[in-house]
Structure 1
Amino acid sequence: MKQGDLVVRKSYGGDVLFRIATLNQQRAVLKGTDYRLLADAPLPDLSVVRDPEYTGAAAKVRIKVNESMRRIQEQRDKQVQHNESELRRELSESQPYFEVPGKVLHLDGDPNYLKKSMQLYTQLRVPAYGLHVHESQMAETVFRLLPQLKPDIVVITGHDGVLKNREQSSIYNLGSYKNSQNFVNAVRVARDFEKSRDGLIVVAGACQSHYEALLQSGANFASSPGRVLIHALDPVYVAIKASYTSIRETINLADVINGTISGIDGVGGVETLGKYRVGLPKPKSLSSVKATI
C-alpha cells in the first residue's frame, strides 16, 4: 500500500472511494475521489481498489453525476430555444445573438477537485478563473482577487467536516468544524466587497460545513444543511446554474438543489437573481470562453 493508491474503508463497508494522500506509520490520510471528504484510517482497515469503475461506491456516484450533467445540458438546450423564439417574436428579421454568462472565481482547497471543476466549467462554456488555496488563506485571497477579477460569482470550497472529538450539543459551534470558520471569514470579506446578494453571488462550503453560519455571513448558497458529505462538483453545479440563469429571473431553488448530487441535505440557499445576459447584434469577433487556473 502506497501514496496515491485508491482504497475503501472496510469498517464503513467501502461506501466511499478514497486516494491515499500520505502514509504515517500504520495510518493513512485519505482524500475522497468524489466527495469533499478528508479522513484518516489505520492501514489494516483499508482495502486497495484495483478497478474503481466497478466498485459499488463509484458506480452509484457515477450514475448521480451523469444524471446531474444531463439536467444541466437539458436546461441549457431549453434556454437556447427560449432565447431564439423570444428574439424572433421581437425582431422583424432573424438576428444572431451572443451570450454573456456570469463569470466565476473558484477557490478550492483541493487541487484535484479544482481540476475537475475547471474541466466542467470549460465543458459548459462558463468563463471561470480557478485557484488552489489552502482554506486558511481564502479570506486573504478573496480580498486580493475580487477587485482584480470582478467576478459575478465566487465559489469558496475545499475540505471541511464535523470534528470527532466534540460535545454532541456543539453542532452549531464553529469551533466544532475543521474549516467552516475559514469559509465564514472568506464569505464576510466577499460580502464587505459587495453588499448585495444579487451584485455578487457567493457559493460557500464543503462536506458537513456549518450551513447556518455561512448563510448568516452573506452566502447565497451554502453546504451542508444536513451535515452530510457533498459531492466535489456540487458547488460547481450551483455556480453554473447561477451563471446561466437570466438576470431577469431568480435562480430556481428547487431546480438547483434537486440538480445537485447531494440534494437538499447537501446544499441550500436563498432567492437570487441570475447572471446570464443576451446581446445583440453579435460582434464580428468574440473571444472564446476559457476556464483558467
Structure 2
Amino acid sequence: MNKMDIVGRLSYKCDIIFRIIDIKIENGKKIAILYGEDFRIIADAPFNDLVMIDPQERQKRSKKLQSLEEQSLQLFRQDVSLIKERQEYEVTRGYSKESNYFQIPGKVLHLDGDPGYLKKCTDLYEKIGIPVYGVHCHEKEMSGKVGQLIDYYRPDILVITGHDAYSKSKGDFSDINAYRHSKDFVQTVREARRKVPHLDQLVIFAGACQSHFESLIHAGANFASSPSRINIHALDPVYIVAKISFTSFMDRINVWDVLRNTLTGEKGLGGIDTRGVLRTGMPFRTEINDKTEE
C-alpha cells in the first residue's frame, strides 16, 4: 500500500473509507495516517490493520452517499424557495403590482484543512448561489491567519473546518487534549472573535468529525460539531451555512431548522439561535438604457 490508496480498517469492519495521506515508522512498524474520504475524520492505523477497498465497493458506497447528498440538497432548495416566497410577499407587502428587487446573500470565508473537501464545498456553494472565498490551511496554522483573512475578505460567515478525531486513550470526552485538532479550531474561533466579537455580525461554524462541541461554542462559534462526538459528513458545513446565508438579517434562525436537512443531524451538529445575513434591496434593473440628448 502507498500514499493516496483507498483503504479500510479491519478492526472497525471497514465502516469508513480512508485515503492514506502519509506513512511513518513507529517501533519498526509502518503506520498509515488516514483521512476520511467522505467524513471529516483523521486517524492512524498499522499497515496490518488495513485492507484495500476495491473500486466496485467504493463506487457502491459513493452512490449511496450521493443519493443522501442530493436528498439534502433538494430539501434545502425547497426551504430556499419558501423563504424567497415569504420575502417577496414582505417586500411587496402583498400587492399585486410587480416589484423589482434584488437579494445579497451572505459572503462566506471557508477555511479547510483538506484541499479535496474544500473543492467539494466551494463547488456546492457556487451551485446554490452563495459567494464564497475558499482557503486551504492546515488546522494548526488557522489561528495565525484567520485575523488577516477576515480583514481582507470581510465575510458575513466564517467556516473553520478540516479533520479531527477523539482518542479515548488520551482522555475522556471532556478533555480537549484528547482531540486531534479541536484545540486548533477553538483557538481560531477565539482569534476570529477578537476581530468581530458580535455573534450576529460574523456567524461562525467550527469543527469536524468528533470535535469538542462545547469548547467551540464557548469560544464563540454559532454552530459547531460534534455534540455526540460522531463523524460529520464533508458537506454538512455547507448546508448549515446555506441556511444562514439565505435567511434575512431581520429573522432569527431556529436551530432545528438549520440541522434537519444536514446529513448528520443533531447528534453531529448543534448551535445557538442566530440571525440570518441575507439583505434585500430595490429596484433591480436588468438593463440600463442610456439616453442621449439630441
| TM-score for both structures, normalised by structure 2 | 0.90
Indicate conservation of the 8 Å contact 1:9/1:47, yes or no. Answer: no
Partner of 1:279: 281
| 1:189-235, Cα deviation, whole Å (9 max, x unpaired) | 11111121111101101111111111111110011100111111111
Match of 1:50 among 30, 48, 55: 55
Q: Which amino acid aligns with 2:32?
A: A
Q: Please tell me the root mean square deviation across aligned C-alpha atoms, in Å.
A: 1.9
Partner of 1:166: 170
Partner of 2:134: 130
Matched, 1:82 2:107: no
Q: Which amino acid aligns with 1:53?
A: Q
Indicate conservation of the 8 Å contact 1:8/1:49, yes or no. Answer: no
Matched, 1:266 2:268: yes
Gaps of 5+ in 1: 287-293
Q: Give the 3-state SS of the residue equivalent to 2:226 in structure 1.
A: coil
Q: Which amino acid aligns with 2:68?
A: K
Q: 1:74 to 1:219 in 2, by over 3 A?
A: same
Matched, 1:31 2:56: no
Q: Give the 3-state SS of the residue equivalent to 2:43 in structure 1.
A: strand
CA distance in 2, matches of 1:272, 1:239: 12
| 1:22-65, Cα deviation, whole Å (9 max, x unpaired) | 3446432221111001112233431322132213xx44433322
CA distance in 2, matches of 1:165, 1:232: 26
Indicate conservation of the 8 Å contact 2:36/2:42, yes or no. Answer: yes
CA distance in 2, matches of 1:244, 1:221: 16
Matched, 1:18 2:24: no
Matched, 1:68 2:36: no
TM-superposed deviation, 1:164:
4.2
Partner of 2:210: 208
| 1:86-144, Cα deviation, whole Å (9 max, x unpaired) | 34445563122111000000000111110101001100110110100111111111111
Q: 1:80 to 1:162 in 2, by over 3 A?
A: same
Q: Which amino acid aligns with 1:148?
A: Y
Query: Highest CA radius of gyration, 1 or 2?
Result: 2
Gaps of 5+ in 2: 289-294
Matched, 1:108 2:112: yes
Indicate conservation of the 8 Å contact 1:9/1:46, yes or no. Answer: yes
CA distance in 2, matches of 1:38, 1:285: 50
| 1:7-32, Cα deviation, whole Å (9 max, x unpaired) | 22232222112222134464322211
CA distance in 2, matches of 1:85, 1:75: 16
Single out whichever of 124-133 and 63-72 deviates more from structure 2. 63-72
CA distance in 2, matches of 1:163, 1:184: 17
CA distance in 2, matches of 1:23, 1:182: 23
CA distance in 1, matches of 2:106, 2:287: 19
Match of 2:224 among 219, 222, 225: 222
